[in-house]
Amino acid sequence: MSDTLINWFIVNLGGKISKEMIVFVISMVPILELRGGLLAAGPAVLDIAKWQAIPICIIGNLLPIPFILLLITKIFDWMKGTKRLKPMVERLEAKAMSKSGSIEKYEFWGLMLFVGIPLPGTGAWTGALIAALLGIRFRKAFPAIALGVVIAAVIMTILSYTIIGGIFG
C-alpha cells in the first residue's frame, strides 16, 4: 500500500515541485512518514543524494509532531461532540491505544523505540497520538519521538540506499 501512495505523490506532484519537495511532503504524511520519504528518495526511485534526503525526511516527519502533541486531544474532544465524527475518533483512539503497552510502561524509551523501529502501524504520528492520549508531557514526548525518527532514518537509509538501491538502483 505504501508504494502505491508514494507513487501517487510522485506522479501527481512530479513536474510541479522539486524531487526534494515531493520527499518532504511524503515525509509529512501519516502512514508514509520518513520511511516512505526515504524509500522515494532512494536511488531506485527519485535518486536524491543521501546527505540531502536524510535531513529533508527528518524535518518533514517532525514538523507535524508538535501540533499533534499539543492539539490532538482538544481536536478529538471537539470531534467527539459531533454525531458523525465521534465513531471515527473512537476507532482512532482505540487503535492507537491498542499499541500503547510499551510506551505506557517505559514512557521515553518505549516511545523512542516505537517510533524508531519501522514496522507497520508505528511511527512519529502514531507515537505522538499515543503520547498525547496517555498525557505524556511535550518536553518528554517530543525528544523521544525525535530520537525515534533519527533511528528510523538510519534503518531506512540502509534499506533504501544500500539494500534496495544496490539491487534496483
The Cα 169–Cα 160 span in angstroms is 10
Secondary structure of the chain as H, E, C letters: CHHHHHHHHHHHHECCECHHHHHHHHHHCCCCHHHHHHHHHCCCCCCCCHHHHHHHHHHHHHCCHHHHHHHHHHHHHHHHCCCCCHHHHHHHHHHHHCCCHHHHHHCHHHHHHHHHCCCCCCCHHHHHHHHHHHCCCHHHHHHHHHHHHHHHHHHHHHHHHHHHHHHHC
Q: Are 74 and 132 in contact (CB under 8 A)?
A: no
Name the β-bridge partners of 17.
14
Q: Are 96 and 125 in contact (CB under 8 A)?
A: no
Confirm whether pTM is higher than 0.75: yes
pLDDT score of 161: 87
The predicted-structure confidence for 27-57, as pLDDT tens digits, reads as follows 999 999 999 999 999 998 999 999 999 999 9
The predicted-structure confidence for 105-164, as pLDDT tens digits, reads as follows 899 999 999 999 988 889 999 999 999 999 999 999 999 999 999 999 999 999 888 877
Please state the separation of Cα 21 from the chain's center in Å: 16
pLDDT score of 168: 63
Cell matching residue 133: 492520549
> How many other CB atoms are there within 10 angstroms of residue 9's CB atom?
18
